Structure 1
Amino acid sequence: MPQIVTLTLNPAIDVATSVPEVTPEHKLRCGPVRRDPGGGGINVARVVRELGGESIAVYTRGGPTGHLLEHLLEEKGLLRRSIPVEGYTRESFTVAEGHSAREYRFILPGPTLSEREWQRCLDAVAEVSVGAAFIVASGSLAPGVPEDFYARLAHQAKRQGVRVVVDTNGPPLRAALEEGVFLAKPNRRELRDLTGMKVEDLPTQAAAARDLVARGRAEILAVSMGADGALLTTRDGQVRATPPPVETHSSVGAGDSFVAGLTLALARGQSPEEALRWGIASGTGALLSQGTDLCHRADVERLFLQVRPERLSLT
């Protein structure tokens, strides 16, 4: 049984292409097209496999685009469990503008899931996570799914003795933290919303993160801070790490790559500090790839050696 189970309720076919310049009204002739299986949990599973770990991806799929998703996942060699749904799997696309090097990302809505369909997702995760170390619930909820879905998943996982990692936002994140999870990855804005505290600088961000951990919302809190790296908080202390400077080609999947590197290191028994280094290296590695490609193992291993974590004072 793989150590890591990922769940993607709203997967996507990620399409990436380029144009010389984005202009209104005119037909824009695109460059070569790349298609990848996407969505938070699927991206995490892809990176775990790239880094030599074992995972199984649980996800929904429907319609012709769902068949394409299956084909793309087969090409990636991922171990998987799909849940058929009535609606069509969504598509999302990224356009790189050659003249400015800007990136435009268009995220389409997914299909509406019935109660029977999202309940089957919970049941499937319960089946495949027996003996697993982690369940990673990542990405947005599909329309029709209740806001407390990830909280229900966390409650179910606790009965099985499996630790849950949550990477989402808004009410679904708040509900999951009310239930309590092993690890959560909010950004600075979400940290402010969750705590009601001002998080204008590192000391206030650190205090807000300690507050959530002290209240039992998460055993580990990894606050993503974009180019400033990430802040990892446990009951034993706080560590901050910044990414090494790289030339960014695409930001697609960088957050998912961070979660994958962090979770895989924890599954391998490494310390939270070392896991943060792997998370930063994986997220930074994704920036080096084009379009909807994700990080590559050689880049991650090289970048890992350049990440220097800094332990913070608890006062």
Structure 2
Amino acid sequence: MILTVTLNPAIDRTIEIENLEVDKVNRTLKVRKDIGGKGINVSKTILAMGGDSLATIIVGGPNGDFILKEAQQMGLKTKVILNKGNTRENIKIVDVVNKTYTDINEPGPDADEAVEEEILSFIGSTLSENDFLVLSGSSLKGLSDDIFNKMVEKANQVGAYTMVDVEGEKLRTVIESKPSLIKPNIHELEALFNTSITRIEEVVSYAQKLIEKGLQTVVVSMGEKGLLWIDENTVYLGEALKVDVKSTVGAGDAIVAGLAKSLNEKRNVEETLRVAISAASCVIETEGSKTGNMASLNTYISKVDIVKLV
């Protein structure tokens, strides 16, 4: 089983504009609403790829009702934890002329006192050995600073495989709990070590420092430079595909979805990287934050080049 967790889901309102101008009135070309939050995006993409997952989400208020309705209509399996505060709404501004993508994200409501205990209890009672726990995105205010650590530790206790895609201090902290795999992007890796990284050799070197801390695998997304897989014994580079970029929203989540689905199916590293890169490519060429059209997935998989560096 793949269990995804979204502590701070959202409604993503994507607004398309021609030539966005600051301090002026801008007219929209198109507006759409999608359910989001990184864990939900992972589950949506797994479903679009023909896979299965259980999306654990904390929701409340009218926005929470909208998310649950949309999730049900698209066929997502969900474990719902109710919260009194209204779930947040994020704005994604796409300038179709200048090809810019601007996110304006709300922080989200405060968590009720019982929420943390409920989610930790659910994870502890639901996961079994060899299940996958995918933790990604931000946290609600009111949850413990080390909530991601607590969830990883629950999974580790039963022998589940843990994948984490968080940023900032949450990433720095969760490493202490030794998740199985983390997926920072290049900027998050730089922030983790308070440095500037320009060469692939440097990415590998810093990732190996994390492996030495007890992680099994570090996967670093580098945009158009591709995707790096680093574990104790090997380093692989999956080269990015050139596609028509319509939105970058959810691309990182699609990588996580591809990794989770493929590893859960016991695919090897090369196959796993091909699926992850191809899933992200499908999302990138899809407007807004709706799930990418996976009709091109198999075609893209056959086109991804993988290079074994170590």
Fold conserved between structures, TM > 0.5 = yes
**Which residue of structure 1 aligns with residue 51 of structure 2?**
53
1:7-22 matches, cutoff 5 A: 7-22=5-20
1:295 and 2:292 aligned? yes
1:107-122 matches, cutoff 5 A: 107-122=105-120
**Which residue of structure 1 aligns with residue 218 of structure 2?**
221
1:247 and 2:244 aligned? yes
Shift of 1:165: 0.5
**Which residue of structure 2 aligns with residue 234 of structure 1?**
231
Pair 1:213–1:24, CA change in 2 (3 A): closer
1:71 and 2:69 aligned? yes
Instruction: Give 3-state SS (helix, strand or coil) of 1:35's partner.
Output: strand
**Which residue of structure 2 aligns with residue 192 of structure 1?**
190
Instruction: Give 3-state SS (helix, strand or coil) of 1:33's partner.
Output: strand
For 1:78, the aligned partner's letter is L
Percent of residue pairs identical: 29
Q: Output one character per residue of 1:127-176: Cα deviation in whole Å (capped at 9) or x when no partner.
A: 33346620100101122222211111111111122111000011211121
* Separation (CA, whole Å) in 2 of partners of 1:175 and 1:98: 38
Moved more, 231-240 or 297-306: 297-306
Shift of 1:24: 4.4
**Which residue of structure 2 aligns with residue 165 of structure 1?**
163
* Separation (CA, whole Å) in 1 of partners of 2:88 and 2:69: 15
**Which residue of structure 2 aligns with residue 62 of structure 1?**
60
For 2:242, the aligned partner's letter is P
* Separation (CA, whole Å) in 1 of partners of 2:228 and 2:94: 30
Consecutive unaligned residues in structure 1, runs of 5 or more: none
Q: Output one character per residue of 1:217-249: Cα deviation in whole Å (capped at 9) or x when no partner.
A: x21110111111111011120001121111100
Shift of 1:34: 1.7
Q: Output one character per residue of 1:80-136: Cα deviation in whole Å (capped at 9) or x when no partner.
A: 011110111000121222332322221111111134212212222233334662010
Choose from 4, 20, 24 the match for 2:2. Answer: 4
Q: Output one character per residue of 1:40-74: Cα deviation in whole Å (capped at 9) or x when no partner.
A: 11000001111111100001101111101111111
Shift of 1:215: 2.5
TM-score (norm 2): 0.94
TM-score (norm 1): 0.93
Report how many aligned residue pairs link the two structures.
Answer: 310
Shift of 1:191: 2.1
Instruction: Give 3-state SS (helix, strand or coil) of 2:142's partner.
Output: coil
